[in-house]
């Protein structure tokens, strides 16, 4: 990302572990890279669940999870979660 970073980039996003490949990346290193460029790191932690992986403790700023996949695998419910290090409603929005 170092040489590919542009002003229009708003965040860095990663899915950990990825689905369906179950690939991993160094969460702490990616958080450092994102923060060095002034970008928040958003992590999708659906497969590992945020309770197990704890992305916020490794530098993520926002964690998303499809709760439907972990709590209601039968498909009878739809739910999602957004967990943030800071209050998202009060956070300033970066503009060009």
User: pLDDT tens-digit profile of 39-70?
Assistant: 999 999 888 888 888 999 999 999 998 877 76
Q: Mean pLDDT throughout 63-86?
A: 79
Q: Quote the CA–CA distance of 14 and 16 in Å, as a whole number.
A: 6
- 37, two tokens: 């460029």
Q: Where are the alpha helices (DSSP H) in the chain?
A: 27-36, 50-53, 67-71
Q: Which residues of 13-47 are buried (b: 16+ CB within 10 A; e: fewer)?
A: ebbbbeeeeeeeeebeebbebbeeeebbbbbbbbb
pTM of the model: 0.77
What phi, psi does 51 have (nearest 5°)? -65, -35
The per-residue pLDDT for 96 is 46
Q: Which of 1-5, 6-10, 53-57, 89-93 has the highest mean pLDDT?
A: 53-57
């Amino acid at each position: 990302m170092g040489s590919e970073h542009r002003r229009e980039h708003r965040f860095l996003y990663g899915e950990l572990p990825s689905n369906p490949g179950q690939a991993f990346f160094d969460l702490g290193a990616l958080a450092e890279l994102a923060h060095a460029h002034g970008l928040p790191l958003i992590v999708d932690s659906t497969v590992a669940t945020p309770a197990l992986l704890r992305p916020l403790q490794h530098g993520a700023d926002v964690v998303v999870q499809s709760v439907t996949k972990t709590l209601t695998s039968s498909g009878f419910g739809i739910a999602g979660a957004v967990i943030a290090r800071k209050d998202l409603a009060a956070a300033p929005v970066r503009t060009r």
